[in-house]
Amino acid sequence: MAWAALLAGCSGPLAPGGEPGAPPAPEDVIRVTPADGGRAVRPGRPLRIRVPGGRLEKVTVVKSQDAQDSAVPGRISADGLTWRPDEDRLALAARYTVDVVAVDPDGRRSARHTTFTTLVPDQRFIGYVTPENRAVVGTGMIVSLAFNRHITDRAAVARAVRVSARPPVEIRPHWFGNDRLDFRPEQYWKPGTEVTVDLNLRDVQGAPGVYGLQDKTFAFTVGRSQVSLVDAARHTMEVRRDGRLLATVPVTAGAPRNPTYNGRMVVMDMLDVTRMNSRTVGFGGEYDIPDVPHAMKLTDSGTFLHGNYWSPTAPGHVNVSHGCVGLRDVKGGGSDTPAGWFFDRSLIGDVIEVVNSAERTVAPDNGLGGWNMPWPQWTADPSAK
């Protein structure tokens, strides 16, 4: 589970009394090379993390390659200013995720989250796979492959990827554009299902002169069923485990100017703490909260379900957020708060469904939103057959 990220989703307006103290920009406190969002980084480029002052507190680097994640070992220098990996050479055809927490010379804590991908040899393509190998996930998980190159022979690539389940269930693919291929059954997975993904992509031609690199199998297990229903009009969330009501939790959803999406969303990531900056999701400088607790990512566009400590009276009474779903929490995150209680009982792959909001239904390709597409439409994709 990731433990920190930056530039995430949205949040409600601050409680009366003004904004929290604005920290320095994370990129000014924490320097990471290669640069965030870098592509085709060559293996000779060094991976370096440093701070000009203060000290590094925690560094986590994860390498994703051939559908498997592995930690990159390294160490912080004795003076706390730099981090270097034990192995200097970057892997080919890999995605690196860097999470750093540091304290500046004034004692202010900052967090930074960056990613970059390394060079894939000429005329090759790979698919980055969700979920992780050997993961235990909720019943709403969708298998999603994001390709590093545009695929023009989508049918050939779809035929080369096999997703199977035990006990058996029909699983069908659907393309979103030319670089994303998702798989799901008609209904949510049954708890206890074991799912296997076979990537038989090596030497498959995905585009003229571009051939697949991977020949890999990975698997994950479906855990218990947990589906939570957010009623934006009633300001409540019903949490059901295996069909049984566990609790009804007060929430605050999107305010009238920025309502929350309706529809079924799947938990994509879980972050103990994250920074939420309105400028990264298309708003102005309306908020910049450096320590949002218990954050669960629901869409690529920035919808989160998260703890809210700055508007303590809003959950259960009024919708005040910029599109997220907020649960009552305390600064730093409390285990005995509604947000902490829910976070501790959730899995990546759990379903959050929103009803009675003024917003449209979330798009099927926004996050793992494919459950919002009717099955006949999902299976009608001719390039997935």
Active site residues: 306, 324
**Which residue matches tokens 């049984």?**
244
Q: What is the DSSP letter of 131?
A: S
Two structure tokens written together for 145: 């492959």
Say which DSSP state 27 is in.
H
Q: Closest Cα to residue 329, out of 359, 281, 295?
A: 295
HSE of 191 in the Cβ direction (CA atoms, 13 Å)? 10
Q: How many CA atoms lie within 13 A of 351 on its CB side?
A: 27
E strand or H helix that includes residue 350: none
Q: Is 275 exposed, middle or buried (0-12, 13-18, 19+ CB in 10 A)?
A: buried
CA 278 to chain centre: 18
Cα dihedral 239, 368, 263, 373 sign: negative
Q: Rounded distance, CA 235 to CA 237, Å?
A: 7
Name the residue among 32, 22, 73, 72 with its Cα closest to residue 56: 32
93 neighbors 118 (Cβ within 8 angstroms): yes
Residue 201 CA, distance from chain mean position: 25
Q: What is d(CA 254, CA 11) in angstroms, rounded to the nearest whole number?
A: 9
Facing residues of 226 across strands? 241
